[in-house]
Every structure is written in structure tokens, then in C-alpha cells.
Chains A and B, each alone.
Chain A
Amino acid sequence: MAEVRLDRITVQYGKKTAIGDFSLHVRDGECLTLLGPSPCGKTTVLRAIAGLAKLAGGDVTIGSRVVASKDRRIFIPPEKRNVGVVFQDYAVWPHMTVEANVLYPLKKRKVPREEAKEQVSDVLRQVRMADYAARMPFQLSGGQQQRVALARALVASQDVVLLDEPLTNLDANLREEMRFEIKRLQNETGVTVIYVTHDQDIALVISDRIAVMDKTGSVRQLGTPEELSRNPVDSFVYRFLGLSNFIAVEIVDGEMHVRDGSERIPFPYPVPSGMGSTSFYAACRPMDIALARAATDGGAGAGGALRGLVTRVIYLGNIYEYRVQVGDSEIRVQQDSYEAFRNGTFREGDACTLSIKNIRYYEDVEEVS
């Protein structure tokens, strides 16, 4: 249990700056996720906290202790920081059994043997590896090795555990199970968890707060999963948190129109306030768009809905995905299969109208990677 504070840290590899002027405050006992495209320096941040990377600037504080400071010339080596780490490549020692791997941190801390053994079997039970205690790592699957690494990190520190994409190699079911498992373990032990991933689904489930990083390594938004989904501050965060459509619109005569249409297509929604210019983007999620059959007589009726043409239909199992042409831009629309069947599915070439919920407006559209 300890808070972690990064104050304007800079990490360089040779001349290359991997992380520059990076600040973050992780509260005691929370699970904070660093979410960002690869490679934005997520692993580097963890390495700076663990003491595996030297700082070229800034301070790192764990609990009440400054563990690294460029200015004050402090560098506490990794073994004295009391931080558990699950590495991106697990780093389970191949020459030790599962039990010996997990026992190692306790041995280094000189915990009495009996007590240590008990603790190890507890944690192995928690990660569901109790039956494999005597196995060698090469006899384990990738997912099992990851769980050993997790157990080892949990044993290594009660204060802070750093997890570097620990669930990437698990199959979908196990991943689901493990992310709840990590959440549960964290709640039980109260350990501070810093979790690194580029998978927003895991991040939204597991985190108390999420820090979204961009590819230059700076934090774009920090907040709870709800805050982030409800109110992404910019188009980068918006895109990173899920599938998204961006429709270029402009204000003409106080009304919005789709900007890149060859004909003038009205965009029949309330004009947002506070936009810097008259042309900007409307962002929406594919799931937030409802399709309806267009009236056969054609023409954009007064106050009429946005019209489009279905150009592709893709069946994704529990989801129907349509590509709808509106002006010059193609919009992704997803419908629940059950809903779609009930309302009748569309076919390529069908004319349709779109009604959009939860529209957000951004000045620009940023690439995410």
C-alpha cells in the first residue's frame, strides 16, 4: 500500500527520449491503467518506477520515499524499492519450478521458510496454479506462465505491483476471468496496481482510473472509466476508447451540413456551442446509430433525418455491421443482430436514414498510431 508519484520524469535510451517530462500521481490502493498505442513509452514508465531505467530528469516517489531523483542524485536500486513487476514477456525463470519462482522474493526477504511456503501456496491458489507448483516453466502454457509471474509479483510486494500487459497471451475466456481475478486480488490486498495495456476493453473493466497516453508519451486524459467514456477530451481519446466515426460538418446559415458532400446534405442536429470555427467533426460510435428505411418518395423532408446509402453489409455473429455512404464519407453502423432481425436487415444498395445518439464534436481528427 503506497502511492506512487512521478514528477516530470524523463527517460532516455541513448540520445532518444522515450518519455519526456511525464507526471502522474497514482493514489494509494488504486488500480491505475496506462492506456496507449504501441510504443508510447508505457513500459518505460514502469521501468522508471521499478528502478530498471535511470532518470534523465524528474523525481519518482513511492509512499513517502523518494526512490529516484535526478536533481537530488538519488537512485534506489530495484531490489530496495519493494515493487512487484509482471514483465511483458513474463520472465519466469526457466531453471526453477513454479514454487521456487514464487518463493524467491520471500527467500530474498528472509521470510521464515514455513511461513513463506504457506504464503506461496496461498497465492498459487489465488492464481489457480496450486496444482502446478512442482512443474518447470517449460511444461506450462503461456497463460500459465503469466499467472506464475503474477503470483511472484504479488508475493514480491504488498505496496505496489506493476503489470505490463499481463493478459495478452490468454484466450478470451481466461482473459475475462483473469481481469476480474486481478481486480479481486487488488481489492483484497489493497495493493496499488499500475497496469499497462493498449487494450481499452481490459482497461475499462479493471481500472479505478485510466491515463490515456498518446504516441509522444504524454497523458491526454486521466479519469475514471465512466468519465472517460462519457466525456473524452479530444478526438484521440475518443478514437482510442472504441470504434468511431468522424463526419466532417460545417455551419452554413446557422445550420450544420455534411462538409464533404458534393451536394449539400443537412446534418439535422443542434449546433454545438463553443466550437472555435465553423467547420469541425461530429464523432459517434457505430453502436449509437440507428438505421431506418428511407421514405420512397426521396428528398430530404423538412426536419428530415440524415440520409445515406448502404454500401456493404457484414455479418459479425452477434452484430450486423453496415457501411453507409453519406456524401463522400463512409460511416460504420453496428446493430445488435437480434434487433436487426426484428426490424429487418438492410441489403447493399438500400437507401436509409440514420439517427445518431451521443454525438460529440471535435475540432480535428487525430491518428491514434
Chain B
Amino acid sequence: MRAGQSLRGSELRRMEGSRFNTGQLLLVISTVILIITVVLPVAMIVYNVFFYKWSFDWSLFASMLTDPDNLAAMWNTVKISFLVTTLGTVVGLFFAWLIGRSDIPLKGLMKSLFVIPYMFPPFIGAMAWGLLLAPRSGYINKMFMALTGGRTPLFNINTLAGIVFVELCYYFPFVFIQVSGALERMDPTLEESARIAGANQMTVIRRITMPLVVPAIAAGAMLILISSLSHFGVPAILGFSNGIFTLPTKIYELIYRASGSFEGIRQGASLSILLVAVVVLALALQRRVLRTGRYDIIRGKSMRPMLIKLRGWKAPLLAVCFVFLAITVILPLFTIFGVGLLKAYGVPMKLANMTLNNFKYVLFESRMARDSIRNSFFLSITSAVITMLVGTMIAYVIVKIQPRGKGVLEVLGILPYSIPGIVLAVGVILTWSGAFYLNLYNTIWIILIAYIARYMAFSMKSASASLEQVHDSLEEASRTCGASHFESLLDVTLPLIRPGMVAGFFLIFLPAMRELTTSLLLYGPFTRTMGVAIYSINEEGYTVQACALAGVAIIIIVLGELLLRFVTRERRGQ
């Protein structure tokens, strides 16, 4: 036997010059983290639905599936998301085209205004619209009834149509952002050559522009569809009072009604599986659509596109833009802050009735509100830091180390993104309230775990993007200069992706600050988040205080968004 062949593992590693292999270590850690945060909750849902006391039993699932109430909720979910997706796509497309390809004035301003609804927490929007258009008490309806002298309200927001309308207001930016980006990158010479070839304006749009932006539209529409299918806040705030349920709100109701008993959670878990099935089906459908619409004509170089002259339409279309923005952004903002300043809900909005007391109350007097702000900051910052670091590590393993099973890691990381927040919360409850000798229920840590799982995809995506910019040879060069793998990571890779990591932090921090769905199932007496506090104060009927706290949340989010822009702008300037 040759000496070399009898080497044991430890000796071999010593010969290789390191005690452990950094790459393998990172791979193992990444896999373990993803299994704990992502796989376990999903597995626990499936297990608890189909197994009872260690034996297979699918009677629960069958009974849940045949319950007419649940079927109605499912039908509502499908109807709402179909309408929101269709209308949202049309609206987003229309404005993206108007700003990207016509000579409408004030483009820069409008572009930033149109993404504002994207930052606005939809459930706060729903609260605002409830205040404006609730059948009897809504400000607009009251005004309308006073004007007409009748008793029929202008519009009842506590309906399917109302829910669709509010979700639409906050989800159309998905398509707007995607399509705007595609139009910017598109090679305008294609449009020009078609014009030169004698096609008229409509033909150019139909035959050239549209096919090229179809992939962007499909991607945006898919985002709307998934978000809307799993959305909780708007139907919860507008639908409960009128007995309208969607799958996510039904799951919440089942668990809430059973006040956290195991049976309720199992029922919720059954519906969760149904909801996930619907989402997966939608994703598969979208995938088909996407595949038929792949065109590789989007180029990197950007030229000045030919702008379509609106002529006489300029003023009316500009007015349409501003009215739309007024309705989706300004009116709800005005309502939240206006009501938040009122002495009591129901009194007319006059300066004499205004006070800062509510803000003082939520910021300094109410223990619950103050706690919620502190909790939200703690959770958002902690989860953003952890998720950003872990996500970067996983992305590093996938992009740079490329182990054999990297596809599995990739799927595991993206999985929570397509799992609705409410489902994830159910899974987290099942996993972390004693099933594995660790009961975190009612503590802030259970929320933290849920946030980490929920936002992992964001961080992985942004970290992958920045890592792909770092060419492999940069790290290899430092290896040949005498740095170990770990040192190369610290000296070369990390400094190069730091700006991306900072942006990644904010991409998690901001949505976490306005999170409602998962926190609402997971909070305990002292672990309310801002979203939960706003929601429960509002449900208890303290409308003005709820609005004040919502106002505070909006201010924090806007400040965070400005900070993010500042940070990313500085990077671009380099």
C-alpha cells in the first residue's frame, strides 16, 4: 500500500493546510439555517394536518375542504386576486407607458410619486378608506348623503369591490415598476425602424412595443397575483365587519376563534395547505404565460426613446395622473393624519377640533403603543441584520462555491417568498411552541424567527445580484497572493458587496416595520408590533389613536425610504 493512500481524513486536511474547509463549513451552516427556518415550519404544517397522534388521518383536511364557508373564502380569494391582478396590470401598464413613452410633462416627479403607493402599508390604506367610505359613517358617504338628502351611500367599501379597489391602489406599482424598467432598457431603434417602415402609431404599440414588454408585464402581474392571493390586511380590515372572508383571513379567524387551541391551529393549517395549493397553481399558470412571452430584444444600452406626442390629450391625461395620485396617495394620507389629529372620532374635521393629544398618547402615554414601536424597531433591525448576513452567506454558497446541491438551497431560500405570511406564521407556531422542547410562544423570538424566514428571499436576491458583479478571479487573485479562503472573503468580497448589503438591510427593515400578517398570529401580551397595535387599537374602536399610531408608522417608513435612497444614490455616484 502506498503511504498516501492510507491517510486518514484529519491528516489529509492537515496536509491541505487548513483545519476545515471554509466553503464546506458555509454550505453546512446555510443548509442547517434554511432547514430550521423554512423546511421545519412547512413540514410541521403538513405533518399536523395529515397525521394525528402519529397515524395518517386526512379526515380533518377533507372536512375543512368541504365546509361551504371555507369554499366561499377560497372563491373570494380567487375572485379578488384575479380582479386585482387584471386591473392592476392595466393601470400599471397605462401609467408606465404614459411616463415612459409619451411627452407628458413632469416625468421625474411623477415617476417618484407613482411608487409611493408601493411603500404605503396596504392595511393602513384600508383603514383610511374605511374612514372615508364606510356605508354610514364614512366621511365621503356622509357628505354625499348630506348633499343628496338621501340615505343611500355613494359607495360601500366593506364589499368585495371595495377590497379589490383598495388592493388595486397599492399593488399596481408592481407592474408599473417592472414595465417602466423594461421600457427604459428597450432599444428604441426598433420602434423607430417600424415607424420608418410606415407603420402607424397604434400598430407600432401593438406589434413592436407590446411584445417586447410582455415579459415585464408578466413578471409584474405575477407579483401582484401572489401578493394579492396571500394578502391579509385589507380583507381583514374591510371584510370582517361584513362577513366577507378570504383564505388568509379565514385562517386567522379559525385560529383566533379557537383562541390558540391546538384544534383551531390544525384547522388553520389545513386551510393553509389549500392556500398554498392555490398559490402554487397560480405560479404554474403564470409560468406558462411567461414562457410563451420570452423575447430577447431588451438591450443594455439606453438611447433616447422616441416620445409619442399627446398634443390635445396632454392636459386631460396629466389631470388623470394627478387625480389618480390624489385618490391613491394624498386622500388616504390626509385622512390618516387628519383623523389622527381629531379630538374624537366623528367630530367634523375643523381646526377647532384638532389636537396633538393622540400623538402624545401613542408616543408617550400608552404603554402598548410605545412597546409596539420599540418591538417593531427591535424586530426590524434584528431581523434585517441577521437575514442580511445569513442571506449573503447563502447567496455566497450558491453563487461562488456552487456545491452540488445548490439548486436545493436556492429553492429553500425562495420558498418562503411564495408561502403566504399567514401560512408561515401557522408553521412557526406549530414548530416553536414546544414541539421541539423549545417553547417560544408569546415571546418576541418567535416573531423574529418568522421574520427571518419571511424575508430571506429578499436578502438572498439582493446579495446574489451584488455577488454576481464580483468576478471569481478577484477572490482567486487574493488566494494566489497568500490569503486563505476566509481572508479573501473578508479582504476582497465583503468590501465589494458592502453597498449591496446596506441596501439589502433596508429592503428587509422597511417591510418588517409595517408587517402585520405574521405578527398578528404570533404576538403575545408584550410583543405587539406596530402593525398589530394599529390593528388592534382600531378593532377596539379607538379610531383616532389608531390613526395617530399609523401616522407615526408612515413617518418612520418614509424616513427609512429616504435614507435608503440616500444610501443607494451615494453608491451610484461613486
Contact = CB atoms under 8 A, between A and B. Distances in A.
Interface residues of B, number: 28
A73 B4 contact: yes
Interface in A41-97: 50-52, 69, 71-85, 87-89, 91-95
A184 to B, nearest CB: 23
Interface residues of A, number: 35
A89 B484 CA distance: 21
Contact of A93 (B3, B16, B477): B477
Interface in B12-67: 12, 15-18
A71 B482 contact: no
Interface string A134-145: 000000000000
B480 A85 contact: yes
Interface SS of B by simple majority: helix
B474 interface: yes
A79 B489 CA distance: 13
Contacts of A91: 471, 473-474, 476-477
B496 interface: yes
Contacts of B7: 73
Contact of A79 (B2, B3, B482): B482
Contacts of B18: 77
B479 A79 contact: yes
B203 to A, nearest CB: 45
A71 B479 CA distance: 24
A75 B473 contact: no
A80 to B, nearest CB: 5
Given A71-B5, A87-B473, A108 B479 contact: no
B496 A84 contact: no
Given A77-B16, A79-B480, A95-B495, A72 B474 contact: no
B5 A73 contact: yes
Contacts of B487: 79, 108
Contacts of A95: 492, 495-496
Given A71-B4, A72-B2, A108 B480 contact: no
A67 to B, nearest CB: 10
B496 A87 contact: no
A105 B482 contact: yes
Interface in B479-494: 479-485, 487, 491-492
A157 to B, nearest CB: 8
Interface of B: 2-5, 7, 12, 15-18, 471, 473-474, 476-485, 487, 491-492, 495-496
Interface of A: 50-52, 69, 71-85, 87-89, 91-95, 104-105, 108-109, 149, 152-153, 156
Given A77-B485, A88-B473, 17 more contacts: A50-B480, A71-B5, A75-B15, A76-B15, A76-B16, A77-B16, A78-B480, A79-B479, A79-B482, A79-B483, A83-B480, A85-B477, A93-B496, A95-B495, A105-B481, A109-B482, A152-B477
21 contacts: A50-B476, A52-B479, A52-B480, A69-B4, A71-B2, A71-B5, A76-B15, A77-B479, A77-B485, A79-B484, A79-B487, A82-B482, A84-B480, A87-B473, A88-B473, A93-B492, A94-B496, A104-B491, A109-B482, A149-B477, A152-B477
